[in-house]
Structures are given as structure tokens and as C-alpha cells.
Amino acid sequence: MAASEENVSIADHAKRTRREPGALRQYATQLAGNPLGIVGLVLVVLIIGCAILSPWIVPYDPTQIFVGPRLGGPSWAHWLGTDQLGRDTLSRVIAGSRIAMLVAVATLGTALTIGLLLGLIAGYGPQWLDNILLLLFDAVRSFPVIVFGLALVTLLGPSLQTVILVVAITSVPIYARIARTQTQSLRNAEYIQAERAMGAGTMRTLAIHILPNVIGPLLILVSMDVPLVIATEAGLSFLGMGVRPPTPSWGTILNDGYGVIRNSPWPVISGSVPIVIVTLGFTFLGEALRDIFDPKLRRDL
Amino acid sequence: MLFYFIRRLGLSVIVVVLAVTILNVMLHLVPGDPAVMILGPRATPELIAKTREAMGLDRSFPMQMAIFFGNVLRGDLGRDVFTDRSVTTIVMEQLPYTLMLITASIAWAAALGIPLGCYSALHRNTWLDKITGVLSVSTISIPSFVMALYALLAFAVGLKWFPAVGAGEGFADSFHHLVLPAFAVGISWVGYLARIVRASMLEVLGETHVRMARAFGLRERKIVVAYALRIAVLPAVTLIGAGVAYLLSAAVFAEVIFARPGIGALIVKAVDSRNYPIVLGCVLVTTGIIVVATLISDLVNAWLDPRVRENL
Amino acid sequence: MPQAEPLLTVSDLSLDFGTPRGRLHALRNVHFAVPKGRIVGIVGESGCGKSTLAHSLMRLVPGNADIVAGTIDFEGENILELGERRLRELRGQRISMVFQDPMTALNPVTTIGRQMYEIQYRSKRSSAEKRTAAIEMLERVGIPDAASRLDAYPHHFSGGMRQRLCIAMALLTRPALLVADEPTTALDATLEVQIINMLKDLQSDLGCSVVFVSHHLGTVAELCDDVVVMYAGEVVEKGPVREIFHRPSHPYTQALFECDPGRIKEKTRELPTIPGELPDLRNVPGGCIFKARCPKAFGRCEREHPEPYVAEGEDHVARCFLLDEEEVAA
């Protein structure tokens, strides 16, 4: 059942890649008709804007202590309050959006590239290689991300690079699996069989026919994974296993807040705002995009 | 059936072996003496020599792996260098707490999520369906540790309805301590399950055999339960089985945030003190939990679906 | 038709589908009767509304369908006005149905036996008797070794066997009317012949009436007593099978016969097709529904919607002005 569904999605996708003029406009109209998608788009733009513009829009120096009272609640001077060292939470949160986006782009880029490559190899290569790769993917996937990350942290020490490595390694199998299934069903598609019968080389077939059709659905999945990656980074940093203080990361801000949760609720509440915004934003947007481009696409969990 | 069990178990063993191999290989790939890595900051020359010998570091790498797996097979995960207690004992002491937490989380999530998804599918586009839809997406996307922090803040620190720390003693007290962590771990699964059950329920309700049951005038409740839901829960069962890995990740945070004992809390502490044998032990046990969970979900699927049963 | 009193009479039935792009008038003023003990075939191209019609006979229409007018009189009751409870009593008891795709028509996770007991849930017979009835019916539809097959699941059977199972289930409760919606479309030709012969035998044994939906003219000629020809949601011609096949009176029926590969006698390189497309049923054009594709269309077809005019032979009518006496006279 799953296989046939995927075939349908590929057929649909192949159809859609031959875009008519005005298709972009049509997508925009479709997005406009989806209120949650609009909310998502606004939130995503907000966060990306913060990440890019953060050095210029922070009201205070995010690492400067005692710019305000300790553990102050929201006020006109400090919209999201201040932490236990009197640092401005809003400034820290905005600065943290840079780390979050950096991790998201770096990990997803790495994971997508490696996943795509392995998926193409597994889907197009010999059967035995496919079997071995599948087993590997399953092995990596049967680790809980955090436990796996913690094991790596023990070896490599906590750092931004470790976080990126952890999330990339755990995401690769997901993309690789999907790329593999898509490649396999495309490989058996009649037009590709015909092309091969006429003597087209492997590289040509892969580059011209398979890659463009595999990458589309993968990109949608990647965009839906952004919140997951950001949450993992924040989670590891929260546990003190990711980005180290004093670099402001959303996870460390929350960790600071957790330490003083009995004294003031504000650091935790304010610290969680960006995570909630970014996860909801990307999820709403991702869902809307998926509905528009590829309603049949599902994660093969 | 027996064949299925053997095959499934064989696959699981391969997965566990691969997982441990990867971690072991990494231990050797990281620059520096593996014995020093294992000992972390406590390394003294005598301890290093002792550990080197125990790991067989002077022998070939395959030999080291063989020694390691031999030990694992005997249930010997090594000794905690610091306290000299058996790692197996330490891990097993913590295991019940984590198992209790994830079981409770799955149980309440399934008890709420499956009926909710079923209701949504049967009453499509009603206000409850729409609210469930938005709430599902929201609870799925908000990370579990944020949920745990909110739960802690609202119900433990603020309202003081539930304790904030520990696992409690005795049944009632343990239950009382379990509520908030299980809430935090399970909440996103309510949304997950509701969504997947709704989708598959809609699919099944549109199938010809449901129409045929209607054409035979069977009672609506019978059709919904025996003809539709029984088939619609199959993907949910698979999802739970595959999702235990995610549940375990969430459990790590819940245990840290609510200061509960458990594998998650143990591993975090071990990472902090760079206690590699304990970390490795925890990884093995969690992988084991995942393997067993997948097995259980396969069995439940087989029990519900004869087609799966015969393909085993 | 006058020799037998009607079991089912559909009068003036109109059905709309609500779609995002407007209301689709899928059935318009459908009128036909099913006499007791006879087999009525409904033929037409895909999309002509024949399956929708078959499903609406049991009010088994999808949620976006809306029956806007008409009555379906069955044994003195109007099916369209029955309460849910009474409707459920009729379904599977007095009327039953065989679906197009036998591969998906049976509950995949329940044994055949269990499904056959469950549809007898109203019967006060003991479970042993229900079992016997099930076995007997399975034997009648030609399932070998029926008693032991009760514990099998649908996926243990081939497509042809599954359709036999569906027919057995449909006839198990001895209904007065069997609605068969393209029961042989999903099967290959040899199986089709077997199933048709079996249906014919069972029908004459049990004496029930059958509504048989098909796009295959040969099958209809083989099996049916009366034929209803549908085009774009309307009944364009109906009458006894012999009349329709020997003297098709509506240009659409004639075109349909010309396109039937089984009836083409000369050697040609191309299969004939009816030129043109089905009209848009969201915006039903005025005049005759077939006019755009009709080789014989003339002025009046543009302006007026034809009544059912009497054609040659008994009980044979067609919605075509060429049969109107005025036109014939002119």
C-alpha cells in the first residue's frame, strides 16, 4: 500500500515539475487560502528576519550583565524581562535565533546532501548494497536522538559542532530512506526504462531524470524538519551538552530559567517563546506547503 | 510464527551489534587513548593501565570487539571505575522508572488520541474536529522539554497540585509523581495518534468493504469498531512502535526536569562526568527497549491483521 | 414488462453532487422499473451515472450527494423517505448489493465465515444453522470445499473467487432485489462468463430481481431481460433487451453498438469512437443532452428537451425527436 502511494506521489510530482506559467502565482493563491499557513509564514519570516538582523535590532548587548534588575518581569525597558544576571532576555533570545538558524541550515544541508547521495546509491545500486545501507539506516534510526547525541558528547565534548554532527547523523537515514524509495520507483518507471534501453548512462539518468524528481519531496520534508532540528539543538543545549555559555542559545536561556524557576517564572516563559514561535511557524508553513505541492507525501515512519 | 520470531530477533541483534560497534569505533576514532576517554577526568596511570588491560587495548581491534561483545552477552557491561559497581546493576536499577514513564505516557496518549482521531474522522469538519486538528499540529511541534517546563511551572511550582521532584514511594505517591512527567512526554503523542487515526479512519471509511457492510445493514457502531477502527489503528500501532525512540528522548528531558530517577537522568549525569561505560550501558539498554517495543508493535499488528500474521 | 408487476419503480429521480466548483447534476429525471423476477441491465459509458444510480437504489450515496427529487418505490415503500432504522432493515435483507471491485469489497481482517454470520445478525436461527446456510450458499456459488473455507480470510481467494463470495453474501439473506454494480468489470473475460452464467442460474433458482450495471454490451445481452441505456445522467432509451439490440432507436445507443468491438464485423485498423465529449454536468446544456455528439441532430434538438417517445416494439422508448410522430410525419 505504501509503495503504491509513493508511486502516486512521484507521478504527481513529475507532473507538477512541468510547471505552467503562473504556477507560482497559483501556489501563492493557494497559500493565501490557508490561514494557518499564513500564520506560519509570518512567524517564519519574523524569526529569519531576527536571525539575519540580530546584531542591529537587539535592544541591549545580549551578554552584558546588569543592564536591568535581576529576574525582572516584562516591562517597557525589558519586554521579555531579565535573567538571573540582569541580562536582557529579549536581546538574548534574538541573538539565540542566529545559533538556531545556523544549526538548522548546517545540519539540514549536510543531512540532505549525504542522505540524498546514500539514497540514490541504495535505490539505484546493486541489491546487496541496498540491503546493507538499509540495515545501517535502521540501526541509526533505532537510537533515540538524544541518547545518541549524549553518547557522542561524551566522546567529543559539548560544542556547537557536536550538536550539528548529532542532528545530521540522525537525520541522514530519514532522508536517505525516502530518496531510496523514490529512486527505486522512478527507476522502474517506463520512461526511464526506455531511456536506459536506448543506452543512456547511469550518471545521465540519475542527474536528468531521477535527481530532480527526488529532490522536490525531500525539500518539503527538510522544511518540515526545521523545527525538529531546532528543538534538538535547544534540547541538547538545555541539558548543557550543546552550545556553551555565555553564547546565548535558546536552550541555555531555558536552562538558566529552569535553575531559577522557583524564584521567577519569567525566564522560562520568555525563553520558551522563540522555540514555540519557530516550531509552530515552520510546522504550519510546512503543512501548508505539503498540502499545496504534494498532498500524498508522508513520512515513512 | 516461530520463523518470524527468529528472523525478527536476528534483525534486532544485528541492529544492536551495529549500534554498539558504531559507538565503539567512534571511541577509537576520536583522537587520544580510548582508555583515557573511558576514564575521563579521573584517569590515573594505574587506572589507565588497568582499563587498557580490561579492554584488551594491547590486542587487535577485532579482538577487542570480541571481548566487548562477549562481556555484553554475559550481561557484563563493565564496572563503573569510580564506584567499582557493576554497570549492569546501575543501569538495571534505573530501568524500571523509565519503563514506567514511557508506558504511562503511551497509555494515556493512546487512550485519548485514538478515540479523538476516530471521533474527528466520523465528525469531519465539525468544530471539535478543527480544534483537534490545530491542537494536534501544535502539540506535535512544540518540543517535549518545553512542555515539561510548562507543566512544571504551572502545576508543580505555581498551583502545587503535583510534586516537582523525584519518583515517590508506594503506589499512590508514585502515581502522583508520575502524572506531570507522563503528561509532558505523552502530550505530543495525543496529537500524533489523533492525526494518524483520523487520516487512516477516513481512508478505511471510504473503502468498499465499509460500504458493503452498510449495504448489508450492519449496525453503525459495529461498522465503525469492527470494520473501520480495527484496521485504522494499524498504522497507529506501527507509529507507537517506531516512536518509542522519540519517547525515550522525551523521557530524558522529563527525568532531568522533574529530577526523576531513570535511564535518562543516569545518562545525563554520566555524560557530565564523562563516564563512558555507563553511557554505553544506557545506549545498549535504550536500544534494547526500542527493539522490544518494535517487536511488541509487530505482534500487536499481527494479532489485529491476518495478512501481517501470515507474512511473518 | 406488463406481464410482471414492478418490484422497484424509480420515478423522476434527480441527484446532485456538491463539488468545490459547483453542483454537479449527476442524475436527472431518471425513470425506470424493475419487474419481479427479471434482470434489468443499466448500460452507458463511464461517468454516465449508472453506478450512482445503482448506489442510490439503496441510498448508499456518498456524503456530498444530494437527492433533490423523485421517489424510489420498493415493495410499496419510498426508499428515499425511510427512516434510518427501516432502511437498515431493508439493506441486506430485502435488497443487497454486489460491488465492482471484489478485491476491496470484503473486510480484510475478518474471516469469511465471520462476515457471513454477521450479515445474518437479524435472523433468529442458531449459529449452527447460520453456518449451514453460509456453507450451502458458498457451495452454490461454486466455492470448492466450502466448509473449510469459512475460516479463510479474503486475501486467500483470487479475484474471481472473491466476487463469488460477495455474490454468496449478497444472496445469503434471500433478498427480493440484487443490485450488481459492474460485478465483472474487474475480472478477466473467462471469469466474467463464469460469473454471468452463475448469476443467471442463481437468479432463476432464487427468483429475485436483479439490477445489473455494466458498460459491456455483450454481458448485458447475455444476462438481462430489460435494458436501460444512460447518457450523461439521463435515461436515453429503455426497453426489452431484444428490442434494444435489434432496433436501437436512440442515436447514442446506435453509436454505442458501433463502438462495441464484439459487434464490429469489418476489418478496420481503428476502433470506432463516438466523437466529442460528455457535456459539463455542472452546467447542463438545454435541448437534447446528446445533441453535441449526435450525427443526426437538427434544429429542434437545440431548443427542446425530448420526451421519451415510443419506439418500435413493446415497451420500448427513447428520448429522441426522430421518434416523435410529428417529425416522422414531416
Q: Are B162 and B48 contained in the same domain?
A: no
Q: Position of cell 551495529? A: B18
Kindly state whether residue B84 falls inside one of the protein's structural domains.
no
Q: Which residue has the higher pLDDT, A127 or A10?
A: A127
The answer to whether B19 contacts chain A (CB < 8 Å) is: yes
Can you give the pLDDT at residue A1?
A: 34
Give the full edge-to-edge strand order of the sheet including C209-214: C95-98, C177-181, C209-214, C39-43, C226-231, C234-240, C317-318, C309-310
C56 lies within 8 A of chain B by CB: no
**Yes or no, beta carbons of C88 and B306 under 8 Å apart:** no
A81 vs B259, residue with greater confidence: B259
Of B153, B256, B283, the CB nearest to A268: B153
Quick one: pLDDT at residue A4? 39
| Residue B207 belongs to some domain of the structure | yes
Pair type for strands C234-240 and C65-74: unpaired
The whole-angstrom separation of Cα A57 and Cα B89 is 53
Q: State the best of B212, B231, B237 to mutate against chain C, taking most chain C CBs within 10 Å.
A: B212
pLDDT range class, residue B304, cuts 50, 70, 90: confident
In a domain, B244, yes or no: yes
Which residue intervals of chain B are DSSP H helices? 2-29, 34-39, 45-55, 61-73, 87-122, 127-141, 144-151, 171-205, 208-215, 220-222, 230-257, 263-272, 276-304, 306-311
Mean pLDDT of B62-87: 77
Residues B189 and B100 in one domain: yes
Residue ending a domain, choose from B73, B104, B120: B73
Pick the residue with more confidence: A73 or B173?
Answer: B173
Residues A258-283: what's their mean pLDDT? 84
Name residue B178's amino acid: L
How many CB atoms are located within 10 Å of the residue A241 CB? 25
Residue in chain B closest to A259 (alpha carbons) equals B257
User: Which domains, and CATH codes, for chain C?
Assistant: 6-94+175-329 (3.40.50.300)
Domains of chain A: 25-297 (1.10.3720.10)
All residues of chain B having their beta carbon less than 8 Å from the beta carbon of residue C119 are: 216, 218
Interchain pair B252, A150: CB under 8 A: yes
pLDDT per position as a tens digit, C57-109: 988 888 788 888 899 999 888 998 888 888 888 888 889 999 888 888 888 88
Check CB contact of B295 with chain A, cutoff 8 Å. no
Last residue of a domain, one of B13, B44, B73: B73
pTM of the full structure: 0.81
Q: Do B307 and C92 touch (CB under 8 A)?
A: no
Distance between CA atoms of residues A1 and A298, nearest Å: 13
CATH of the domain at B151: 1.10.3720.10
Give the number of A-B residue pairs with CB atoms closer than 8 Å. 138
Verify that B278 and B157 share a domain, yes or no.
yes
Residues of A in contact with B145 (CB under 8 A): 234-235, 238, 254
A301 touches chain B (CB under 8 A): yes
State the Cα–Cα distance between residues B226 and C82, nearest whole angstrom. Answer: 26
A130 in contact with chain B, both atoms CB, cutoff 8 A: no
pLDDT over 50 (residue A2): no
Contacts of A235 in chain B (CB under 8 A): 143, 145, 249, 253
> Chain C residues with CB inside 8 Å of B211's CB?
60, 99
Considering the domain architecture, whether residues B107 and B231 belong to the same structural domain is answered as yes
**B151 & B298 share domain:** yes
- Looking at the structure, tell me whether residues B128 and B49 fall in a common domain: no
User: Is B236 inside any structural domain?
Assistant: yes
Which of the four pLDDT bands, split at 50, 70 and 90, describes residue B154?
A: confident
Q: Is the pLDDT of residue B263 over 70?
A: yes
Can you give the pLDDT at residue B285? 86
Q: Is B243 found in the same domain as B151?
A: yes
| Structural domain boundaries, residue B42 | 2-73
Closest CB to B291 among A142, A151, A155: A142
Quote the cell numbers at residue A177.
Answer: 530512506
In this complex, do B218 and C97 lie within 8 Å of one another by their Cβ atoms? no
Q: How is residue B85 written as a grid cell?
A: 559497581
> Per DSSP, which regions of chain C are E strands?
6-19, 22-35, 39-43, 65-74, 77-78, 95-98, 177-181, 209-214, 226-231, 234-240, 309-310, 317-318
Instruction: Assess whether B118 and B230 both reside in one domain.
Output: yes
Whether residue B39 is contained in a domain is answered as: yes
Q: Could you report the predicted ipTM of this complex, rounded to two decimals?
A: 0.82
Touching subunits of A (3+ CB pairs, under 8 Å) are B
Instruction: Check contact B-A (3+ Cβ pairs < 8 Å).
Output: yes
Distance CA A194, CA A7 (A): 18
The answer to whether the Cβ–Cβ distance between B286 and A143 falls below 8 Å is yes
Instruction: Give the separation between CA C172 and CA C159, rounded to whole angstroms.
Output: 20
Q: Which residues of B touch A225 (CB under 8 A)?
A: none
pLDDT value at position A16? 44
Q: In B, which residues are within 8 Å of A238 by CB distance?
A: 145, 253
Contact C118 B212 (CB under 8 A): no
Q: What pLDDT, on the 0 to 100 scale, is given for residue C267?
A: 62
CB proximity B27 to A under 8 Å: yes
User: Is a pLDDT exceeding 60 seen at residue A230?
Assistant: yes
- And the C-alpha cell for A106? 548546517
B contacts of C110 (beta carbons < 8 Å): 226-227
For residue B47, give the nearest of B71, B80, B77 by alpha carbon: B80
Residues of B with CB under 8 A from a CB of C: 207-209, 211-219, 222, 226-227, 230-231, 304-307
Q: End-to-end alpha-carbon separation of chain B, Å?
A: 6
Chain A residues with CB inside 8 Å of B14's CB? 135, 139
**pLDDT at residue C329 in the model:** 67
Is residue A7 scored above 50 in pLDDT? Answer: no
Most B CBs within 10 A among C96, C99, C107, hence the mutation to make, goes to C107
Interchain contact, B146 vs A272, CB within 8 Å:
yes
Whether chains C and B touch (3+ CB pairs under 8 A) is answered by yes
Exposed / middle / buried, residue C139 (Cβ in 10 Å: 0-12, 13-18, 19+): middle
Q: Report how many Cβ contacts below 8 Å link chain B to chain C.
A: 68
* pLDDT, position A175: 86
Q: Is residue B86 part of a domain?
A: no
C108/B209 touch (CB, cutoff 8 Å), yes or no: yes
B245 vs A144: CB contact, 8 Å cut-off? yes
Q: Which residues contact residue B268 at a Cβ distance below 8 angstroms, ignoring those fewer than 6 apart?
A: A150, A239, A241, B252, B255, B256
pLDDT below 70 — which residues of chain C? Answer: 1-4, 261-271, 328-330
Partners of B140 on chain A (C-beta within 8 Å) are 283
Q: Do B13 and B68 belong to one domain?
A: yes
Nearest Cβ partner for A276 among B146, B282, B283: B146
Per-residue pLDDT, A170: 82
In a shared domain, residues B297 and B206: yes
Q: Which residue has the cell 447518457?
A: C231
Tell which residue, B288, B278, B257, B233, has the closest CA to residue B155: B257
pLDDT score for B125: 81
> Could you please report the per-residue DSSP string of B153-199?
IIIIIIS--S-SSS--SSHHHHHHHHHHHHHHHHHHHHHHHHHHHHH
**Angle C198-C199-C205 from CA coordinates, rounded to 5°:** 90
Q: Kindly report which listed range (A274-288, B3-17, C32-46) carries the lowest average pLDDT score.
A: B3-17
Per the structure, the count of domains in chain B is 2
Which residues of chain B lie closer than 8 angstroms to C99, CB-CB? 208, 211-212, 215
Domain boundary among B43, B73, B103: B73
Q: Identify which has the larger pLDDT, C75 or B30.
A: C75
User: Hey, which of A66-70, A225-229, B23-27 has the most confident mean pLDDT?
Assistant: A225-229
Residues B66 and B106 in one domain: no
Residues B205 and B295 in one domain: yes
Q: Which three cell numbers stand for residue B186?
A: 505523552
The separation between CA A62 and the C-alpha centre of its own chain, rounded to angstroms, equals: 25
Contact C252, C297 (CB under 8 A): no
Residue B130 lies in a domain: yes
**B186 in a structural domain:** yes
Cis bond leading into B31, ω under 30°? no
Q: What is the mean pLDDT of residues B180-191?
A: 91
